[in-house]
Chains A and B, each alone.
Chain A
Amino acid sequence: MRYAYYPGCSLHSTSREYDSSMRAVAKVLGVELKEVEGWFCCGSTAAHAASRLLSTALPLANLASVRRMGLSDVLVPCPACLSRFKTALHRVDEEPAMAEDVAGIVQGDYAVQVRHPLQAFSAPGMLEAIALRAHLRPEPRRVVCYYGCLLTRPPEVAQFDDVENPQSMDAVLRAAGYETLDWPAKTDCCGASLALTEKEVVLRLCHGILRAAKDAGAQALAVACPLCQVNLDTRQEEVERLYGERLSLPILYFTQLLGLAMGLPAQDLMLQKHFVAPDFTRKEVAHHA
């Protein structure tokens, strides 16, 4: 399978480990990723508060680049970007006036199927492929899957998974041998869009999520969003200080967890980049699928 791949700004800076583990896992699963040529920022998380037209045109211009590469499917690992791409496509579909405005700004066709890698990894046949490749059993392995806001909301735009109780990440990680727990904060907001401006709000929201994960008995929290990861990981010490609780909950990308179970090399997973140190041991399993 061959996809265009739009990493987005975060995966080239604060979340290089998401990019690197994504590429490594995709390779193992036979998913070919072609980085979008000359891509630029989709405008998230700010352009939508500055101009409706700008926040529609920036993503669509990037999708036009995908078409120019001769591809019509793109994987977008950052849900903040993903949401902007899907919103832009939804908008030009629903609003003829917007489509007309965009036509004067973005050259070329931008009709591209936009998906999150979780969607590709949980597609028919892929869970079996993951189970087959996950030959190691990492410990600890009790995890909660945190989906955050924008993977599934709003549902008519996201068109993916259950909006209040999504399951795709759970299915993907279970296929790799992890035990995923039920918990109530799967789609709560961590406040990432306020990360640089309203710290008090962010610490409170992060605390709610981290606390719920601990109460469910999680040994690690799995994420699919670079903004959530940075927020929950780098702010965790401040949360602990403010609330007088010890949390020490490693926040890992689902791709890092997959890579651990697949025995991928440390330089692809870059676990050392996290503030809360993930400490895993792994042993060979006969076959758990």
Chain B
Amino acid sequence: MAEGVLRIDEASSEFAERIAELCGVNVDLCFQCGKCASGCPVAYAMDHTPTELVHMVQLGLREQVLRSRTIWLCSSCQTCSTRCPQGVDVAELMDALRIMAQQGRIAAPVPAVPAFVRQSVRNIAVFGRTYELGLMATLKLSTGGLREELGLGVRMLGKGKFRLLPGFQGSGEARRIIRRVKAREKR
């Protein structure tokens, strides 16, 4: 982390309080044992380990946390939540942070992951059941890497791994659910 003086005051706890409201995770239970970081399969690629990130949330470092690579690289494998001796659901915390970052329109340092999240939900709203070929194509077109993955995609097509055309089974009901969720969240 960059050097400097951290200013901790009353307002610093607001971030953690907001998170507790959003998803019920109480980060103040964490005593920094490091088990989440040591079991995390992706920690090596993160800018802050899960243990560090939880500490940053405790300190109220909202901006640094929501701009981190960590929240987007988390693979949601649940090892951290399973092993935490204090019952801190770190994987759930990561989800809450991703949702906050998107709501705050904070640019992700790993743009392909939030793009995948957005496009997946849109895919469900349109098709009901995920149209995987369409999702892969639009994701790679919008975030790059199409050429790199084209070979694999073609081989998968050859093996008959994709449904070529989308179906629309369940799409009406899926759309209704998504619409009702959005209406509820606006209130």
Segment at the interface with A among B5-13, B49-57, B120-128: B120-128
Q: Which residues of A contact B82 (CB under 8 A)?
A: 153-155, 163
For the complex, what is the distance from the CA of A106 to the CA of B178, rounded to whole Å?
A: 11
Q: B178 to chain A: which residues have CB within 8 Å? A: 54
Evaluate contact between B155 and A275: CB separation under 8 angstroms: yes
Interface mask (B83-105 → A, CB under 8 Å = 1, otherwise 0): 00000010100011011001000
State the CA gap A284–B141 with chains docked (Å).
51
CB-based contact B155/A61 at 8 Å: no
- Counting CB contacts under 8 A, is B30 at the interface? no
Give complex CA distance A57, B180 in Å.
Answer: 10
Of B91, B110, B124, B162, which contacts A41 at CB under 8 A?
A: B124
Residue B20, interface by CB 8 Å: no
B107 part of interface (Cβ distance < 8 Å): no
Q: Are B113 and A194 in contact (CB under 8 A)?
A: yes
The chain A residue sitting closest to B42, CB to CB, is A201
B28 within 8 A of A: no
Which one of B89, B129, B149 lies within 8 Å of A40 (CB-CB)? B129
Question: Shortest beta-carbon distance, B12 to chain A, in Å?
Answer: 24
Q: Is there an interface contact between B79 and A149, defined as CB atoms closer than 8 Å? A: yes
**Interface range on chain B: under 10, 10 to 19, 20 to 34, or 35 or more?**
35 or more
Q: How far is the CA of A235 from the CA of B45 in the complex (A)?
A: 19
Q: In chain B, what residue has the closest Cβ to A149? A: B77
In the bound complex, residues from chain B placing their C-beta under 8 Å from that of A163 are 82
Q: Which residues A49-107 have CB closer than 8 A to chain B?
A: 49-54, 57-58, 61, 83, 94-95, 101, 104-106
Inter-chain CA distance A275–B113, complex, in Å, is 26
**Which residues in chain A, 10-47, are within 8 Å of chain B measured between CB atoms?**
10, 12-16, 38-41, 43, 45-47
With contacts A53-B181, A105-B181, A191-B42 taken as known, whether A13 is within 8 angstroms of B95 at the C-beta atoms is no
**Closest chain A CB from B83 CB (angstroms):** 9
A112 beta carbon closer than 8 Å to chain B: no
In the assembled complex, A48 has its CB within 8 A of some CB on chain B? yes
Counting CB contacts under 8 A, is A179 at the interface? no
Asked whether A268 is an interface residue with its Cβ less than 8 Å from the other chain, the reply is no
Specify which of B89, B121, B163, B180 is in contact with A46 (CB 8 Å cutoff). B121
Q: How many residues of A contact B (CB 8 A)?
A: 59
Does B22 sit at the interface, judged by CB under 8 A?
A: yes
Across the interface, do A9 and B130 meet the contact criterion of CB distance under 8 Å?
yes
**Is the pair B78, A58 in contact by a Cβ cutoff of 8 Å?**
no
Contacts of B162 in A (CB 8 A): 13-14
B 149-187 binary contact with A (CB < 8 Å = 1; else 0): 100100110011111000001110110011011001100
A9-B130, A201-B42 given; A273·B160 CB < 8 A: yes
Assess whether A119 is interfacial by the CB under 8 Å rule: no
Q: What is the distance, in angstroms, from A30's C-beta to the closest C-beta of chain B? A: 28
The 8 Å CB contact of A50, one of B79, B118, B145, B171, is B118
Q: Which of B24, B41, B42, B139 contacts A196 (CB 8 A)?
A: B139
| Residues of chain B within 8 A of A274, CB atoms compared | 159
Residue-by-residue, is A225-260 near B (CB-CB < 8 Å gives 1, otherwise 0)?
000001000110010000000000000000000000
CB pair B159–A273 under 8 Å, yes or no, is yes
CA distance A153 to B80 in the complex (A): 10
A50 touches B42 (CB 8 A): no
Interface contact B117-A104, CB-CB below 8 Å? no
**Is B75 close to A, CB under 8 A?**
yes
Contact of A129 with B by CB under 8 A = no
Chain A nearest CB from B36 CB (Å) reads: 12
Given A41-B129, A57-B177, 9 more A-B residue pairs with CB atoms under 8 Å apart are A40-B124, A50-B102, A189-B42, A191-B41, A194-B42, A197-B116, A198-B110, A199-B145, A275-B155
Q: List 28 A-B contacts (CB under 8 A).
A: A12-B163, A13-B133, A13-B162, A14-B132, A16-B161, A38-B169, A41-B128, A41-B130, A45-B120, A46-B120, A47-B120, A47-B121, A49-B113, A49-B114, A50-B99, A53-B181, A54-B177, A104-B180, A149-B75, A153-B77, A188-B41, A189-B42, A189-B77, A194-B73, A196-B116, A198-B113, A201-B42, A205-B41
- Residues of B that sit less than 8 Å from A by CB: 22-24, 41-42, 45, 73, 75-79, 81-82, 89, 91, 95-96, 98-99, 102, 110, 112-118, 120-121, 123-124, 128-130, 132-133, 135-136, 139-140, 143, 145, 148-149, 152, 155-156, 159-163, 169-171, 173-174, 177-178, 180-181, 184-185
